[in-house]
Amino acid sequence: MAEFKYEINNKIAVLSENGDYTCEANVISYGENGRPKLDIRKWNRAEDKMQKGITLNKEEALALFEALKEFNFDELA
């Protein structure tokens, strides 16, 4: 089985912390020649393991940014 490769190109922000886990927004390249993508996911930094998350290309990240500018955050608990 081929080794899973990724490179964190830019650490944008730690969004939350819970014990050994952090929720982070980073720019990550996956694979040998992977294009950088916005990646939001939970990490266990003590073991350097990633959890489930979401990866967005430039167009998707910009669409999310525009949608969040209009979002009513008072809807969240």
63 touches 71 (CB < 8 A): no
Give this prediction's pTM.
0.86
28 touches 8 (CB < 8 A): yes
Q: What is the pLDDT of residue 56?
A: 97
- Predicted confidence (pLDDT) at residue 77 exceeds the cutoff of 90: no
User: What are the tens digits of pLDDT across the range 20-65?
Assistant: 999 999 999 998 788 999 999 999 988 888 999 999 999 999 999 9
